[in-house]
Amino acid sequence: MSYQKGQFKFVVDGGKSGYALGAQTPDADQKMCANSAEGQHLHLIVDTEPYAAKYQPEFAYDIPDGTHFILAFLSRSYHESIKHPAAAKVAKVAIENKTIIDEGEVTSPMLFYSRPKGTYVGKDTENVMLDFYLANVKLGEDYMVKVAVADTSFLVNQWQPYFLKNLPMGENTVTLTLVDAKGNTVPSPLNPVSRTFTLAEDKVE
């Protein structure tokens, strides 16, 4: 990953997996959830901002001066993150004049929010993917993710996508919190993180 003069450049090598930006993931139809017609893509996340979907390995992106956490990972066409170290890049960077002037390794446990995001319409409201990205932490007995949505909350101890069903139409907010074995919030950067998204019925003309 490089970022100079407002321009990101990534090297994406599909290798044996055959991953390619812009291609449809073969099992997209089976997932029965929102899917990008433009195919597989990069999710770029800066701090707690909503991700930007990018379908080419080089693109312009404006990041203000200062210190930021950056995560980029490969996504399937239906927005599920590929959960493999080689498919992601996470770094703490210093930005000046739209250029990385210093980059440091991230060693603390971190949780990044990915999906849901934006507006879901019609059938896409029935099966809403919940997906997040972890760095330097493994879920299990010592760490879990607390999910709060639509007046309910639950804990998950496996790093995988989940599907939210029967949510009310209109705005919904998801809050994700990385917690320890006792349910205490882990004092890590950007934790917890929340996002509001919208469910809408199909319009009848």
Instruction: Give the number of domains in the chain.
Output: 2
C-alpha to C-alpha distances, 197 to 47, 79, 152, nearest whole angstrom: 18, 15, 16
| Domain end position, chosen among 71, 104, 137 | 104
pTM, rounded to two decimals? 0.94
Residue 15: the pLDDT is: 75
Q: Average of pLDDT values for 82-87?
A: 93
DSSP strand pairing (99-104 vs 88-96): antiparallel
The pLDDT tens digits of the residues spanning 136-189 come to 999 999 999 999 998 899 999 999 999 999 999 999 999 999 999 999 999 999
Give yes or no for residue 204 having a pLDDT over 70: no
Quote the tokens at residue 152: 């309910």
| Domain end position, chosen among 104, 124, 147 | 104
Domain with residue 48: its CATH number is 2.60.40
Full domain range(s) for residue 141: 110-200
The pLDDT tens digits of the residues spanning 115-141 come to 999 999 999 999 999 999 999 999 999
The pLDDT tens digits of the residues spanning 41-81 come to 999 999 999 999 999 999 999 999 999 999 999 999 999 99
| Domain end position, chosen among 52, 71, 104 | 104
Give yes or no for residue 13 having a pLDDT over 90: no
Residue 14: the pLDDT is: 78
Domain match, 70 and 129 both:
no
Domain match, 130 and 74 both:
no
At residue 48's C-alpha, the angle toward residues 44 and 51, to 5°, is 30
